[in-house]
Amino acid sequence: MRVSSQGVTVVALLADPDAPTEIAQRMGRILSTRLADKSGQGRRFEVEVVSEPFTAGTEDPPTLMRRIMDRGRAENWDIVVALTDLPLHSHGRKVVMDVSHEHSLALLSLPPLGGLRLQTRARRAVEEAVLGLAGPRATGAEGPPQSEPLLGRFVSRLAPVHLGPVGEEETADLRYVVSGPRGYLRVLVGMVRANRPWRLVPGLSKALAAALATGAVATVNSTIWGLAEYLSAPRLVIAMVGSVGLMVGWLIVDAQLWHRSTEVSPEARQRARLYNASTVMTVGIGVLVCYGGLIVINLVWALFIINGQVFASVTRTPLHAAEYLTLSWFVASVATVGGALGSGLESDEAIRAAAYSKREQERRHMLQDDHGD
């Protein structure tokens, strides 16, 4: 490991735009102090955060490591840790981190860290990687490598992470991967979090406008009053599931969000299943957030507009809190169907921008170009 002439170890956090950059910036405020406290011996660290799309055009870990190495050589950096929100694969396994002690580099993929406490998990992974790269092994000292125990603690915190195979020609000399059902679930949840499904609601303005208009009209419709009053709870649940499923399916089909792999290898099929599962979960969560918002808006509108005597004369049932809630619930299902029809007015680009992170949009655009060729 190189050390600057002033005795300060310069650590660069090279982050993809969007979520990785936000994580790196929050991390950068405290990382130098935490590294100095953990390393001891009076060592000082300086942290720089650089945001640039270093994964553009590829998701191949060896290629990315070479890019990071070239980028680090062009700057006065002692250690480079790159962060991306793309899921990376190698030898049929999902990569968590690649490390090169020879070049003082590390590449961290955020999705395998899961969707909960991502900031803390990412900070710990970066800390262990930097301290490992700053250890004797990185300087070529004799004896057993002292950096592996540090990364061993990283592994124990993020089980089921374990060591993975590294090719002889690769820049990395150490790789951590996840596998098995728990690893698959962790990556899937991490991909969904990176897509930020809650952004789907404001991103689909035309669909939301159609849903709100449908809900406003349905709330004052006496036929809807009668249906809502006589529908049992199981049927209301079926109506909710059906409307949400229709909206999710329509968005995926209309915007061509479903990934079809042209490769026939088991690894390609596994990746296609992972991408499609993340799409369904991302859009599903976004639609459910929209559905919950519609219930609240419809309830407020019903409280304001519906006359209790008129409602009772039509349904022969007094208008109480239970009736308000049941009506708002059923109207939300009707409005969601209206929103599905309104989503047809959205452009495919708008739906993809609302459903996916910036890196995921570029990845899917690249795949479409490859298939078009």
Distance CA 77, CA 325 (A): 59
- 355 vs 67, 315, 358, CA distance in Å? 28, 41, 10
Token pair belonging to 370: 């490859």
Helix residue ranges per DSSP H, 61-147: 61-73, 118-133, 136-139
- What pLDDT is stored for residue 362 in this prediction? 60
- pLDDT at residue 218, as a whole number: 93
What pLDDT, on the 0 to 100 scale, is given for residue 274? 85
Residue type, 180: G
Per-residue pLDDT of the chain (373 residues; tens, 9 = 90+): 455 546 788 999 999 988 899 999 999 999 999 998 888 777 889 999 999 988 887 878 899 999 999 998 888 899 999 999 888 888 878 899 999 998 999 999 999 988 888 899 899 999 999 988 887 654 444 433 444 444 555 555 555 777 888 888 888 888 998 888 888 888 899 888 887 888 777 777 788 888 999 999 999 999 999 999 888 999 999 999 999 999 899 888 887 888 776 766 777 777 788 888 988 998 899 899 999 999 999 999 999 999 889 999 888 889 899 999 999 999 999 999 988 877 776 666 667 666 665 556 665 565 555 445 4
* Tally of CA atoms within 13 A in the half-sphere of 11 that contains its CB: 29
- Give the span between the Cα atoms of 17 and 195, in whole angstroms: 13
pLDDT at residue 154, rounded to an integer: 58
Residue 46 in 3-state DSSP? strand
Identify the pLDDT of residue 367: 52
User: Please, which residues have CB within 8 angstroms of residue 182's CB and are 6 or more apart in sequence?
Assistant: 160
Residue-wise burial string across 86-107, b where 16 or more C-beta atoms lie within 10 A, e elsewhere = bbbbbeebbbbbbbbbebbbbb
Computed from CA positions of residues 119, 125, 127, 130, in that sequence, does the dihedral angle turn out positive or negative? negative
- Residue 307 has a CB neighbour count (10 Å cut-off) of 10
| Residues, the chain | 373
Nearest CA-CA partner of 283 in 344, 343, 195, 366: 195
Identify the residue whose tokens are 């405290």.
30
φ and ψ at residue 309, rounded to 5 degrees = -65, -40
